[in-house]
Amino acid sequence: MSRSRHQGVRSLVFIVVLAVASVAWVTVAGHRPLLGLDLQGGVSVILAPTEEASSDSLDQAVAIIRQRVDGLGVAEPEITRQGDTIVVQIPGVDDTERALELVGQTAELRFRPVLSVVEEAQLQAIAGASPTTVVPGATTTTSSSGDATTTTTAGSDSSTTTAPGGATTTIDAPSATDEVGFALVEGELAAAQVASTTVPPTTTAPGATTPPTTTTTTTTTAAAGVPTTTAPDGAAPPTTVPPIDADAILAQYELTAPGADEAEATVVLGEYDDDNNLVRRYELGPAGLTGEALESASATLQGTEWTVLPIFRSGAEGIDAFNGLALQCNGQQPTCPTGQLAITLDSRVVSAPSVNAAQFTRDQVVISGSFDEREARDVALVLNYGALPLELEAQQSQIVSATLGSDALAAGLVAGVVGLLLAALYMILYYRLMGVVAVLSLTVSAGLLWALVCWLGETQGLALTLSGITGIIVSIGVSLDTNVVYYEHVKEDVQHGRTVRSALDRAFSPAFSTIVKANVASIIGAGLLYVLSVGSVRGFALFLGIATVLDLVAAWFFMRPMSMLIARSRLAQERPGILGVGRPREAS
Amino acid sequence: MGAVGRLLRGESDIDFVRVWRATTAASALAVILSVGALVTGGLNLGIDFEGGVVWEVSAPGVSTEEARDALATVGESGAKIQTVGADVLRVQAGPQTDEESAAVVAVLVDLSGAEAGDVSISTVGPSWGQEITDAAVRALIWFFVVIAAYLTIRLEWRMAVGALSAVVHDIIVSVGVYALFDFEVTPSTLIAFLTILGYSLYDTIVVYDKVRENQARAGTREPSDRLMSRSLNETVMRSINTTITTLLPVGSMLVVGAGIMGAVVLKDFSVALFVGLLLGAYSSFFVAAPVVVLLHARDPQEKARRERAARVDGRAAERDRDVGAPADASPIAERPTVFSTGHPPRPRKQGKRR
């Protein structure tokens, strides 16, 4: 008995310390529950595709929306996919109308000829430097309309040199010949290519892994020998180049606002790395064609190199339009002086390969470069998305004003506190001392719940909504029920002649078994709701589920040992009536 | 005090077998009325099911009449206008164009003296309701399957059937309540309701678990109707208390949160929870329990048990006549039936205790 008493005390200490420590921890760490936008005001939209959509394109749409919302610069927007719908929650945004508009737009994939490119690092250097100190390397690349000829000698992939960052990509027509990297001149050769490429590239490729190798070599040479990097003591060029006007360059490369990114306009768009940092800026000509020209795209391993194989639609809207652009770029005509063709999605440059042939067949286009597998797949995903852009429709949108939000929060809190007090009062009146135990047990699980809600909000971005608060209020009842089930069991045993002490001991395990059965049913209900529903409902189910689990924890670690300790106390021996679980029959 | 006092002391002795006759009739009537109300009146579906817009703004001192007149000037005479809580004006109308919506916002800004940013707007597309309904139906089907499996494993199949019959009863009658009183059905309603199904099983499971416990003690000799009735008597206070402790917070949500402070979502939730909780408590006693007894009645062994019980009762009645005391004057535990289950329980061996 003394051993079990020790265990009881240990368990009590454990749970109380855990509860106090976790509350203290979130308090010290400054974690607070993340309030849903129905409580703090903001915009919430539930979007659904107008047509059947693949999982990939939904994910892509989520990524696009996230970029757009990030552009708004609000704190903690939440964009999640729930089944076939996309839920966007933007708390505390000022221009709600604009936010709504922005989120619902359909993203278009475009092919734009590259007029010029500048590395972001160079641009920053220019911005930082005074106009007289000229960064030599910069001029060669930034002089946009400037001498494309100088950089594109010998038909080599000189354009790739403008992008030393490693994202050098080229569009090749796959062939088994070595000339791949070179600009092939139209007609007959294209025809020849068609002939040679009637054999799928994969079969011919093994013998000639040349396409990748050529590109890699150009890349390496480029990286090594190109003065475009900010090396201030670059070669001769500085002398020939007049001092540049930094302001003019900065103005020239000012990024076009997403709203002004019209297909027909000349725009400046950025390319971003994985961490969403701007890497380089492209000055781009009018879009020659959109993603509609594409049929599909895939990423494949050719030899040792990951490549992307887009397949165009046939006809004027498809491959012909692409070839129109290819011709311009391959010939480095004034409309496409760099020879590069940028693929843009939602005002971002995804990739800007240089075009290595003037004529392509619709299913024989290869985009190669220093892709790793993930990059190649990403580009393929983007192309696929562009081929069938997801048109999203707002199923439900909500703009909650900050005042109404805080009113709702107050209502939820007050209702919760009043409900809690009433229920606690009832428990204490009915079960007396054991009622107090029940209330303490509830306090313990409430402490744990608070810490968990704060923690989830802080680390998982899980917001507490009004429906979540409702779930928690309901869980008060669930928690107290646990105590009721146990106490009534005790009472019944006492009725049948047990002493209070022995009944408190004995009744726990059958009562706990009942509680587990019943709580599991509740958790199943909440779990199903969480998995199968959308939007605010999930908050309700989630927090009800969590509270139910915590209730089991509190019952086991707190209610049980606490009851046992009371059962063994002198008080219980002397005045069993105070326990509120009935008197032994002799006394009645 | 007598009956209530006995109830409070956990000594209730209600003949549930007899009560069931009345309640079954009542349940059947309620189901019929519900279906009738649903067919004739239909449900009052919120905008989420039909598509439309709701505007809310805090507008102290503005009456719904003033709002109605003002809104009529922008062609929104058909809008539904309410005040919720102390001073929140709520306007509800069918699908709107952006211009129409902006006009309403302008009117509300005029009326309330607030700024445009203070107006909450909730827009719902016409297909959203369908989506929500589909999700709810999907959740419901899964709920039935998973709960049936769970109860069959943890208890027995008859109890799974009984519990789910109770759930079906709850669903039909609460739909009836919504149709009859013309409460508005919103997605929150559906959801709260689905959750309460899980929760309404709570009482049922507590009762069933008691039956299993008693069965284990008494062996299989007691007829199932008596076993059930006895178990219900032993759990009645438990069920009343669990229901009260849950209804108190929910009621507070309804009265304080929704009624006094005007949080509409709280109202949607709490009305559904309130109705669901009451029905759940009722059905665990008066639907779930008799269904299990009914299913047992088909068991051939059950017949033998009942005959045996009748013989024993006959002997006990004779004895009682001899002694001259009415049979029901003594508490259950003292009843001279063979099924009185070895209470007081024998003390456990010390060694078994942890």
Instruction: Please indicate whether, in this complex, the C-beta atoms of A485 and B206 are within 8 angstroms of each other.
Output: yes
Q: How high is the pLDDT of residue A448? A: 92
- Segment A236-243 mean pLDDT: 48
Q: How high is the pLDDT of residue A368? A: 77
Q: How high is the pLDDT of residue B213? A: 87
Predicted confidence (pLDDT) at residue A311 exceeds the cutoff of 70 = yes
Model confidence pLDDT, tens digit, residues B306-315: 777 777 777 7
Cα B341 to Cα A585, A586, B216, B326: the distances in Å are 17, 20, 10, 21
- Segment A225-246 mean pLDDT: 46
Check if A406 contacts B (Cβ < 8 Å): no
CA angle, B176 as apex, B278 and B95 as ends, to 5°?
Answer: 115
Q: Where are the beta strands (DSSP E) in A273-347?
A: 278-284, 289-290, 294-302, 305-312, 341-345
Number of A:B CB contacts under 8 A? 276
Highest mean pLDDT among A342-351, A508-517, A522-531, B337-346: A508-517
Q: Which residues of A touch B85 (CB under 8 A)?
A: 407, 411
Nearest C-alpha in B relative to A482: B242
Predicted confidence (pLDDT) at residue A217 exceeds the cutoff of 60 = no
Residues constituting chain A: 588
Nearest C-alpha in A relative to B130: A395
Model confidence pLDDT, tens digit, residues A483-529: 988 988 888 888 888 887 888 888 898 899 988 988 888 888 888 87
Identify which of A298, A382, A458 has the alpha carbon closest to the alpha carbon of residue A63: A382
Check if A419 contacts B (Cβ < 8 Å): yes
Q: How high is the pLDDT of residue A402? A: 77
Predicted confidence (pLDDT) at residue B45 exceeds the cutoff of 90 = no
Q: How high is the pLDDT of residue A566? A: 83
Q: How high is the pLDDT of residue A194? A: 33
CA distance to partner chain A, nearest, from residue B350 (Å): 9
Name the strand (E) or helix (H) holding A57. Answer: helix A55-72
- A310 prior amide bond cis, ω within 30: no
Predicted confidence (pLDDT) at residue A90 exceeds the cutoff of 70 = yes
Check if A407 contacts B (Cβ < 8 Å): yes
Nearest C-alpha in A relative to B148: A521
Q: Which residues of B touch A582 (CB under 8 A)?
A: 9-10
- Segment B198-222 mean pLDDT: 81
Identify which of B341, B242, B249, B223 has the alpha carbon closest to the alpha carbon of residue B284: B242
CA distance to partner chain A, nearest, from residue B175 (Å): 19
Sequence-separated contacts (24+) of B158-161 with Cβ below 8 Å: B158/B291, B158/B292, B158/B295, B158/B296, B159/B208, B159/B211, B159/B288, B159/B292, B161/B291, B161/B292, B161/B295
Model confidence pLDDT, tens digit, residues A435-487: 899 999 999 999 999 999 888 888 877 778 877 888 888 888 888 888 988 98
Check if A85 contacts B (Cβ < 8 Å): yes
Instruction: Please indicate whether, in this complex, the C-beta atoms of B257 and A393 are within 8 angstroms of each other.
Output: no
- Segment B166-193 mean pLDDT: 85
Of residues A137 and B153, the one with the higher pLDDT is: B153
Name the strand (E) or helix (H) holding A441. Answer: helix A402-459
Instruction: Using pLDDT thresholds of 50, 70 and 90, give the confidence band for residue B169.
Output: very high
Instruction: Using pLDDT thresholds of 50, 70 and 90, give the confidence band for residue A201.
Output: very low
Model confidence pLDDT, tens digit, residues A248-290: 777 788 888 777 778 788 888 888 887 778 888 888 888 878 8
Instruction: Please indicate whether, in this complex, the C-beta atoms of B345 and A470 are within 8 angstroms of each other.
Output: no
Model confidence pLDDT, tens digit, residues B184-199: 887 778 777 776 677 6
Tell me the two tokens of residue A560.
Answer: 């049980």
Query: How does the average pLDDT of chain B come out, rounded?
Result: 79
CA distance to partner chain B, nearest, from residue A295 (Å): 30
- A 10 A CB-CB count for B32 gives 12
Instruction: Please indicate whether, in this complex, the C-beta atoms of A422 and B138 are within 8 angstroms of each other.
Output: no
Look up residue B249 and give its amino acid: P
Q: Which residues of A touch B234 (CB under 8 A)?
A: 492
Helix ranges (H only) for A228-348 are 237-240, 246-252, 319-330
Predicted confidence (pLDDT) at residue A205 exceeds the cutoff of 70 = no
CA distance to partner chain A, nearest, from residue B245 (Å): 5
- A 10 A CB-CB count for B303 gives 12
A72 phi and psi angles, rounded to 5 deg: -75, -20
Model confidence pLDDT, tens digit, residues A21-65: 999 998 888 888 888 777 887 888 888 888 877 888 888 888 888
Check if A35 contacts B (Cβ < 8 Å): no
The CA R_g of chain B, rounded to the nearest whole Å, is: 27
Distance linking the first and last C-alpha atoms of chain B = 42
The model scores a pTM over 0.90:
no
CA distance to partner chain B, nearest, from residue A15 (Å): 20
Query: Mutation test of the interface with chain A: which of B188, B190, B245, choosing the one with the most A Cβ atoms within 10 A?
Result: B245
Q: How high is the pLDDT of residue A154? A: 34
Residue B131 is nearest to which of A395, A427, A474, comparing CB atoms? A395
Model confidence pLDDT, tens digit, residues A107-121: 788 888 888 888 888
Look up residue B305 and give its amino acid: R
Residue B201 is nearest to which of A94, A521, A541, comparing CB atoms? A521
CA trace torsion B162, B164, B170, B172 (10° rounding): -110
What is the Cα–Cα distance from A15 to A586, expressed in whole angstroms?
A: 37
Predicted confidence (pLDDT) at residue B152 exceeds the cutoff of 90 = yes
